[in-house]
């Protein structure tokens, strides 16, 4: 069985897939990758189902070794990726020979993903392989861990694509919640005119935002009935700062929600670096639905947007070892990280 | 449909709200209410049985039903029409409780350093600590919803004197199994967590055991009767009983 061995792992390295559905009524949120788009991108690069599990690196580092030849893809927040001394291009697929060591470092925050051909064959817990840290399902990886890989029916590597821009903050579009109008028009207006930044305190449950001016509030008191919460909900907690619920959020809560971020904009929030401004804007439900459907179509078409990876010749350490036909490479023949 | 019904403009129950882009919430009340809770449990069962095209997941909270659907298999108008039709099929407030409910007896220590806010909560309810313990153990409490954390029940409804607010500040950490009170409800915490609810009792009941064939101990609609035990009895239970001394029987 093909395996990966973890030599070093920073905090926040977990196995993630699309999460588990069907347990909300028992208090367990879906969980799954913080940036679900990055999972779809990795699946497209390796031409395999989006449901397969990958490794998520939450702004730290990871060194691993593969026991046998594997295909990998690198997506999400860019990191410095080195395989046995040779740099690997981010947002691309690569072939690693058996015994290769992969070192990922230099994260500037956000969530990075390593996908493997065949996916990670971690134990299925309540229908998914995702670690759900808040529910104590699974755990962060540590040195000495080893993980099995599933059988890989694909062979193509050396492909790349241009990812959806989402690594510099920007606009987060919202729809209203049943509590939106508990906030005064002035509060709502000020909310959409404020430039927020991410608070350093964040985890897979939610992201607190730093508010440069006074906080926000609705006149609901301390006795509001706990009601269903969904990822993307922007909860205004006691201190007036917005708290955006993410993949591992609680399933119910008693704080009022000023709005809900569209699922297609959540990757922009989770991937925003600490210094980037984030803005909110309400959109109509009709517009929100159209945006979601368009993004779902775009996501389904990722496989058609791939192109062969042409390496910058200066990045190839041993250029003369390659046989170049008319000076053009197809890309994938350069992909063994041990040329 | 109006995409954003203004709740102040809607006079009639039940109400249907959108939740996010791909969800709807059928609310039977904005207050904790036995009939609304039964309505929510029964309506969710009917919704599951109806097996509507595009519905991905349903759940209940205290007085409402949430459903999430696939925007590429259905749309808001179709989903809203299906919900309205289903709502008209029955008087959901007259629904009976689900069948197959379980009555649990759960040992708990009230007060002591294990549950330090009993005296404070009792005083807010106008009771002595002993009266408070008797009141909290007088009758079974209904699992009105499971939520916030895996397997974690909202239990109610307590008599009106227990309509005490949450604290303004948070208790930094209550342990797993903590029993806390506010707004005529108790929460039995399935994980160690900060909370604004007052910690009045401590149990050893595990609520979420992912490695077991039945990972969740309680279900919405179950009854839970707390049984006051001494600190010594509790420590003995905690050492020797993986179910925290809890026993179960059919409720009906």
Residue A290's CATH number = 2.40.100.10
Residue A314 lies in a domain: no
Residue A312 has pLDDT above 70, yes or no: no
Residue A64 lies in a domain: yes
Q: Stretch A239-245: mean pLDDT, rounded?
A: 92
What is the spatial distance between Cα A176 and Cα A154, in angstroms, rounded to a whole number?
43
What is the spatial distance between Cα A243 and Cα A264, in angstroms, rounded to a whole number?
18
Q: How many CB pairs under 8 A join A and B?
A: 143
H or E stretch including B42? helix B34-50
Residue A22: φ, ψ to 5°: 100, 0
Do residues A156 and A43 make contact, with C-beta atoms less than 8 angstroms apart?
Answer: no
Answer yes or no: do A113 and A53 share one domain: yes
Answer yes or no: do A105 and A180 share one domain: no
Residue A316 lies in a domain: no
Full-model pTM: 0.90
Answer yes or no: do A224 and A97 share one domain: no
Residue A313 lies in a domain: no
Of the three residues A141, A160, A179, the one that is the final residue of a domain is A160
Of A80-89, A155-164, A214-223, B95-104, minimum mean pLDDT range = A214-223
Residue B116 has pLDDT above 70, yes or no: yes
Residue A303 lies in a domain: no
Answer yes or no: do A44 and A84 share one domain: yes
Residues 226-245 of B with CB under 8 A from A: none
Do residues B64 and B28 make contact, with C-beta atoms less than 8 angstroms apart?
Answer: yes
Q: What is the pLDDT of residue B6?
A: 44
Residue B168 has pLDDT above 80, yes or no: no
Answer yes or no: do A103 and A244 share one domain: no
Answer yes or no: do A75 and A182 share one domain: no
Nearest Cα residue to B156 out of B120, B126, B182 = B182
Q: Which residue has the tokens 């609901």?
A: A220
**What residue numbers bound the domain in which A275 lies?**
170-298
Coil/strand/helix, residue B185: strand
Residues 212-231 of A with CB under 8 A from B: 221-223, 225-228, 230
State percent of chain A over pLDDT 70: 90
Answer yes or no: do A238 and A289 share one domain: yes
Residue A338 lies in a domain: no
Answer yes or no: do A182 and A246 share one domain: yes
Q: Which residues of B touch A126 (CB under 8 A)?
A: 210, 215
User: CA of A294, closest CA in chain B: separation in Å?
Assistant: 10
Indicate the number of domains in chain A.
2
Mean pLDDT score across all residues of chain A = 91
What is the spatial distance between Cα A285 and Cα B20, in angstroms, rounded to a whole number?
9
Answer yes or no: do A38 and A132 share one domain: yes
DSSP H helical segments within B194-251, as ranges? 231-240
Name the residue in chain A with its Cα closest to that of B190.
Answer: A135
pLDDT band at A310 (very low <50, low <70, confident <90, very high): confident
Q: Stretch B120-140: mean pLDDT, rounded?
A: 97
Answer yes or no: do A193 and A149 share one domain: no
Answer yes or no: do A189 and A274 share one domain: yes
Of A190-199, A318-327, B233-242, minimum mean pLDDT range = A318-327
Residue A325 has pLDDT above 80, yes or no: no
Domains of chain B: 15-94 (3.30.1360.40), 102-250 (2.40.100.10)
**B196, A222: Cβ pair inside 8 Å?**
yes
Q: Is A189 exposed, middle or buried (0-12, 13-18, 19+ CB in 10 A)?
A: exposed
Answer yes or no: do A37 and A112 share one domain: yes
């Amino acid at each position: 069985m093909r395996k990966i061995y973890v030599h070093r792992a920073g905090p926040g390295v977990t196995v993630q897939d699309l999460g588990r559905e069907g347990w909300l009524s028992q208090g367990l949120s879906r969980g799954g990758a913080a940036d679900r788009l990055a999972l779809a991108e990795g699946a497209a690069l390796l031409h395999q189902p989006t449901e397969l599990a990958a490794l998520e690196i939450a702004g730290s580092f990871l060194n691993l070794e593969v026991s046998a030849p594997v295909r990998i893809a690198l997506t999400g927040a860019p990191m410095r990726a080195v395989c046995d001394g040779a740099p690997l291009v981010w947002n691309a697929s690569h072939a690693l020979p058996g015994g290769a060591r992969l070192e990922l470092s230099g994260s500037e925050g956000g969530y990075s993903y390593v996908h493997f051909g065949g996916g990670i064959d971690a134990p299925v817990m309540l229908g998914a392989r995702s670690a759900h840290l808040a529910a104590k399902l699974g755990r962060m990886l540590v040195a000495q861990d080893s993980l099995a890989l599933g059988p890989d029916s694909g062979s193509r590597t050396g492909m790349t694509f241009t990812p959806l821009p989402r690594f510099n903050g920007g606009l987060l579009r919202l729809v209203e919640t049943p509590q939106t109008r508990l906030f005064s028009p002035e509060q709502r207006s000020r909310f959409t005119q404020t430039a927020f930044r991410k608070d350093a305190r964040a985890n897979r449950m939610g992201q607190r935002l730093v508010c440069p001016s006074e906080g926000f509030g609705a006149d609901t008191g301390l006795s509001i009935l706990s009601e269903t919460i969904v990822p993307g909900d922007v909860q205004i907690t006691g201190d007036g700062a917005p708290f955006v619920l993410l993949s591992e959020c609680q399933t119910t809560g008693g704080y009022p929600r000023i709005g809900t971020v569209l699922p297609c904009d959540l990757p922009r929030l989770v991937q925003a670096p600490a210094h980037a401004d984030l803005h909110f804007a309400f959109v109509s439900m009709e517009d929100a639905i159209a945006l979601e459907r368009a993004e779902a179509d775009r996501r389904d078409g990722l496989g058609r947007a791939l192109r062969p990876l042409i390496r910058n010749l200066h990045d190839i350490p041993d250029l003369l070892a390659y046989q170049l036909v008319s000076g053009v490479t197809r890309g994938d023949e350069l992909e063994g990280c041990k040329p | 449909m109006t995409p954003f019904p203004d709740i102040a403009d809607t006079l009639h129950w039940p109400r249907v709200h959108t939740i996010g882009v791909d969800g709807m919430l059928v609310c039977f009340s904005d207050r904790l209410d036995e009939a609304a809770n039964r309505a929510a449990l029964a309506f969710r069962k009917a919704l599951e049985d109806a097996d509507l095209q595009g519905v991905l997941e349903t759940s209940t909270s205290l007085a409402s039903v949430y459903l999430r659907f696939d925007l590429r298999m259905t749309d808001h108008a179709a989903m809203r029409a299906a919900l309205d039709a289903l709502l008209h099929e029955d008087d959901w407030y007259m629904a009976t409780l689900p069948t197959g409910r379980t009555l649990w007896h759960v040992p708990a220590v009230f007060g002591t350093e294990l549950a330090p806010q009993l005296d404070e909560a009792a005083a807010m309810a106008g009771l002595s600590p002993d009266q408070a313990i008797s009141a909290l153990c007088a009758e079974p409490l209904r699992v009105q919803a499971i939520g916030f954390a895996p397997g974690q029940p909202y239990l109610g409804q307590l008599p009106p004197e227990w309509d005490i607010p949450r604290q303004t500040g948070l208790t930094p950490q209550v342990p797993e199994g903590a029993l806390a009170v506010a707004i005529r409800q108790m929460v039995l915490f399935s994980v160690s967590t900060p909370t604004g609810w007052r910690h009045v009792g401590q149990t050893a009941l595990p609520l979420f055991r992912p490695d077991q064939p039945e990972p969740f101990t309680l279900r919405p609609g179950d009854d839970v009767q707390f049984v006051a035990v001494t600190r010594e009895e509790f420590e003995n239970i905690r050492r020797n009983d993986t179910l925290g001394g809890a026993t179960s029987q059919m409720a009906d």
